[in-house]
Amino acid sequence: MSNVHAVILAGGAGTRFWPASRRQLPKQLLPLAGRADETLIGATVRRIEPLVPAERTWISTAARLVEATAAALPQLSRSNFLAEPVARNTAPCIGLAGATIGRFDPDAVVAVLPSDHFIADEPGFRHVLARAVQIAEEGWLVTIGVVPTRPETGYGYIELGDAIAHQAHAVRRFVEKPARQLAETFVAGGRHLWNAGMFFFRVSVMRAAIAKHMPDLARGLAAIDAAALRGEEARVLAEVFPTLPSISIDRGVMEKADRIAVVPGSFGWTDVGSWQVTWEMSEHDADGNALPAESVAIDARNNLVRDLTRGQARKRWALVGVNDLVIVETEDAVLVIPRERAQDVRLVVDALAARGDIDRL
Amino acid sequence: MSNVHAVILAGGAGTRFWPASRRQLPKQLLPLAGRADETLIGATVRRIEPLVPAERTWISTAARLVEATAAALPQLSRSNFLAEPVARNTAPCIGLAGATIGRFDPDAVVAVLPSDHFIADEPGFRHVLARAVQIAEEGWLVTIGVVPTRPETGYGYIELGDAIAHQAHAVRRFVEKPARQLAETFVAGGRHLWNAGMFFFRVSVMRAAIAKHMPDLARGLAAIDAAALRGEEARVLAEVFPTLPSISIDRGVMEKADRIAVVPGSFGWTDVGSWQVTWEMSEHDADGNALPAESVAIDARNNLVRDLTRGQARKRWALVGVNDLVIVETEDAVLVIPRERAQDVRLVVDALAARGDIDRL
């Protein structure tokens, strides 16, 4: 049996959770769901540990984020951090990780996992992951499809094809974010799953698929690979990586390749996409409020207050007559926004960027 | 001509401006209007100084507030602070101040002024005050009536009687807080003024009026007066003051006495009664927001944010899609309330009191 390696994708711009998230502190480095003292990336590494030990867990992140990410994952060796000199989307990133792992372990199976998702049922998730690995060993490019629970228009969908072994299916088609009506059809029809951005493959199989469908990327990766064998990886990576095509692995490889499989799963997955999701996943009082301890709420419903300041004396929050608000306070900024507009926090980040307020980005 | 003394009424429970105001820090000790670095009581003393020098300015306050109030008024001698052992409303308070001043200066005219109001037109105010003093010298009990600019139901009104000298009128009647419709009639009719809680009298005239209409109070004051001449004022005050009738000077004396005059005035007066008033009196941006410097406001209108924390780095406030909110932050508390419910901040204070959260009261 092959060794399983994990590649955790940990880039990210840090805009959707402003003011908690920043350019230097994207959401995977924050405790936004689950345990109050565990970052999303920390949970990601911990929950696969029974299947993938730390020495085979690789972190793909931006050069500027290596320090902070390493601090969040003290159990990992610094040599397991793969720093991209610039962001080039997931195809170059996954291709590079596959090539790097392949040099050490040519028979490896790689599990690519996002670093910023929350999973409620961890044993259930590991069960699905083990099956995805098994199918990847047999030469398939594999993804996990989450059984949809609502007609979400913010996700891509995967249409099931014929059943293959291990309760998996061939993928018939990847579908971009659908309109509402189409999404409703998908949920009702039972043949579409959410694309959760998880991929499983033998390094040899991915290398061959890239060679076939993304020859430019294959050439670049070959150059980096050759340089690594000469001990010149750093220099050539910095030269070559920025020239690679910026495209997602879905678009560049998965949608075009043969033998693509999907393993359906239901394990309480959420992508922690906005403060709205944080409210949904928080403990609420009887009025739907998720507030700091000892808050006063009078005629106030369905609000989220996150006090992320480090003060000794806990602030007393008092909400009177306000509903459906998100309020987030940090040491140097405060956000006030309706829950239903939580995605619009990017407008704040844009405004701060436009005025050059770099300390708050 | 008699000497004019001022008695500044500076008690107050400190609930309407929570979390800025506290039991130990009522609103007159805060810079809630006008200059950012001047307390309301500081402005009160400063604006009468051309007419009443510091040595004839007396501060009537609660024993527990003497220290903080003296700190806000460094120009006043400690002997000019009159500490009430308990709060007994304005009649005992004004009676005591009149008696105290009368011992030093039997011919004095006293101007009683609230400590927590804002006045935009200070020369205009002094002009009206000088006329009120003039009429008081002639033996009237005098009040100032503010020409109403809206059908306010939160104030008492004064109905004008016949004209007397110096553009003043005899008072026909004091009217308690009216219903909306009646208030509209008052504003339209032009014969009703707002009762701004300012009173002017010769100490001898007030003593006689109290003797006639509040004999219990007169007896108590006489006992304190006699004790003061024996050097036993402190002990007797502590004994007698709590037994005095708790009633306002309006109700106890002004509504019953003869020769009550009112001087009408328009000098940009406001009682700074709630955060709603603070919003009204603040500088606004084009969208009606009064926010800390460098805030980001997107689709946000008519909000007030007061950041009263002492942090070195100014917080960046970002408001998206919220309207008509009041948000006030201090070192240890944050209030979020719609402007139109600003009066309901007392519900928060009640809730904190009920749970014994005394550090935040």
Angstrom distance (rounded) from CA A175 to CA A164: 21
Paired tokens of A30: 């924050």
Mean pLDDT (whole number) for B118-134: 96
Chain B residues near any Cβ of chain A (below 8 Å)? 18-19, 294, 296, 298, 311, 313, 315-322, 325, 327, 329, 331-338, 341, 344-345, 347-348, 351-352, 357, 360
Q: How far apart are CA B328 and CA A45, in angstroms?
A: 41
Of A320, A332, A348, the CB nearest to B320: A348
Distance of CA B181 to the CA centre of its chain: 26
Contact at 8 Å (CB) between B325 and B336?
A: yes
What confidence category does residue B311 fall into, taking pLDDT thresholds of 50, 70 and 90? low
B343 secondary structure, DSSP code: G
Residue type, A243: T
Q: Averaged over B305-319, what is the pLDDT? A: 85
Reported in sequence order, the residue ranges of chain A that DSSP labels E, i.e. its strands, are 4-10, 57-62, 81-84, 109-114, 118-119, 141-146, 157-163, 169-175, 192-202, 260-265, 269-270, 296-298, 304-307, 316-320, 325-329, 333-338
Looking at residue A111, its pLDDT comes to 98
Q: Quick check: A34 pLDDT over 80?
A: no
φ and ψ at residue B338, rounded to 5 degrees: -65, 145
Closest to A160 measured CA to CA, from A261, A291, A231: A261
Buried b (16+ CB within 10 A) or exposed e, A12-41: bebbbbbbbbbbebbbbbbbbbbeeeebbb
Q: Are B51 and B34 in contact (CB under 8 A)?
A: no
Query: Averaged over B131-146, what is the pLDDT?
Result: 97
Count CA atoms within 13 Å of residue B335 on its CB side.
31
Q: How many CB atoms lie within 10 A of CB A165?
A: 11
- In sequence order, which residues have a C-beta less than 8 Å from that of residue B77 and are 6 or more positions away? B54, B55
Q: Do residue A337 and residue B321 have CB atoms under 8 angstroms apart?
A: yes
Helix H or strand E segment including A278: helix A275-281
Closest residue in chain B to residue A356, using alpha carbons only: B294
From B318, B341, B344, residue closest to A348, measured CB to CB: B318
Helix B215-229 vs helix B90-104: crossing angle, to nearest 10: 40
Nearest CA in chain A to B354: A296
- The residue of A334, A337, A355 whose CB has the most chain B CBs within 10 angstroms, and thus the best one to mutate to test that interface, is A334
Under 8 Å between Cβ of B302 and A284: no
| Sequence-separated (6 or more) residues with CB below 8 Å from residue A341 | B320, B321
Q: What pLDDT digit, counting tens, does each position of B159-188 carry?
A: 999 999 878 999 999 999 999 999 999 999
Percent of chain A scoring above 70 in pLDDT? 99
* Three-class secondary structure assignment of B232-270: CHHHHHHHHHHHCCCCCHHHHHHCCCCCEEEEEECCCEE
To the nearest whole angstrom, how far is the Cα of B30 from the nearest Cα of chain A?
Answer: 20
Please give the helix or strand (H or E) that residue A223 lies within, else none: helix A215-229
Question: What whole-number distance in Å separates Cα of residue A197 and Cα of residue A114?
Answer: 7
pLDDT (tens digit, 9 = 90+) per residue, B57-68?
A: 999 999 999 999
Q: What distances in angstroms separate CA A82 from CA A114, B16, B286, one per listed residue?
A: 15, 57, 49
Q: Do A334 and B315 touch (CB under 8 A)?
A: yes
Report the amino acid identity of residue A353: A
Banded model confidence at residue A309, pLDDT cuts 50, 70, 90:
confident
Sheet containing A296-298: order of strands: A296-298, A316-320, B333-338, B325-329, B304-307
Nearest C-alpha neighbor of A43 from the set A56, A27, A55: A27
Which pLDDT band holds residue A118 (cuts at 50, 70, 90)?
very high
Mean pLDDT over the full length of chain A: 94
Cβ contact B334–A352 (<8 Å)? no
pLDDT of residue B169: 97
CB contact under 8 A, A332 and B320: no
Q: Are B336 and A322 in contact (CB under 8 A)?
A: yes
In chain A, which residues have their Cβ closer than 8 Å to the Cβ of B295?
none
DSSP B276-312: HHHHHHS---TTS-B--TT-EEES-BS-EEEE----S
Closest C-alpha to A14, from A77, A72, A82, A64? A64
Looking at chain B, the whole-number percentage of residues with pLDDT higher than 90 is: 85
Mean pLDDT throughout B38-62? 96
Mutation pick from A285, A306, A314, A336 vs chain B, by most beta carbons of B within 10 Å, is A336
In Å, what is the CA distance from A178 to each residue of A82, A152, A269, B212?
34, 8, 19, 85
Which of the pair, A32 or A323, is modelled with greater confidence? A323
Helix (H, G, I), strand (E, B) or coil at B272: coil
State how far residue B99 is from chain A, nearest Cα, in angstroms.
Answer: 44
Contact A19 B316 (CB under 8 A): yes
> CA B210, CA B257: separation in Å to the nearest integer?
9
Confidence of residue A313 (pLDDT cuts 50, 70, 90): low
Q: CB contacts < 8 Å between A and B, how many? A: 116
Q: What was the pLDDT predicted at B312?
A: 59
User: By C-alpha distance, which of A65, A57, A85 is closest to A12?
Assistant: A65
DSSP category for residue B314 = P
Which pLDDT value is given to residue A308?
A: 87
Q: Say which residue the tokens 């994952």 belong to.
A: A73
Residue count of chain A, please give it: 361
Instruction: Looking at the complex, report in whole angstroms how far the Cα of residue B178 sits from the nearest Cα belonging to chain A.
Output: 27
Identify the residue with better confidence: A107 or A2: A107
Residues, chain B: 361
Q: Please check the confidence at residue B96 and state whether its pLDDT lies above 70.
A: yes
- Give the other-Cβ count within 10 Å of B337's Cβ: 28
Please tell me whether the peptide bond between A19 and the residue prior to it is cis, using omega within 30 degrees of 0.
yes
Domain ranges of chain B: 4-270, 280-360
What is the C-alpha to C-alpha distance for residues A261 and A263, in angstroms, rounded to an integer?
7
Q: How far is A265 from chain B (nearest CA, A)?
A: 37
For residue A11, give Cα distances in angstroms to A15, A44, A92, A116, B80: 12, 14, 13, 10, 67
**Contact (CB<8Å) A317/B338:** no
Q: What mean pLDDT do residues B92-97 have?
A: 96
Q: Which of B325, B334, B344 sits opposite A315 (nearest CB)?
A: B334
The answer on pLDDT for A14 being more than 80 is no
Q: Report the topology of domain B4-270.
A: Spore Coat Polysaccharide Biosynthesis Protein SpsA; Chain A (3.90.550)
Q: How many CA atoms lie within 13 Å of B275's alpha carbon, on the beta-carbon side?
A: 32
Residue B218: pLDDT band (50, 70, 90) is very high
Query: Tell me: the pLDDT tens digits for A219-265?
Result: 999 999 999 999 999 999 999 999 999 999 999 999 999 999 999 99
User: Can you name the residues that pair with B7 across neighbouring β-strands?
Assistant: B58, B112
* pLDDT given for residue B13 in this prediction: 74
The residue of B16, B314, B320, B357 whose CB has the most chain A CBs within 10 angstroms, and thus the best one to mutate to test that interface, is B320
Residue B1 pLDDT level (bands cut at 50, 70, 90): confident
Percent of chain B beyond pLDDT 70? Answer: 99
Region B25-50: mean pLDDT is 91
Digit-coded pLDDT (tens) for B268-286: 999 888 999 899 888 899 9
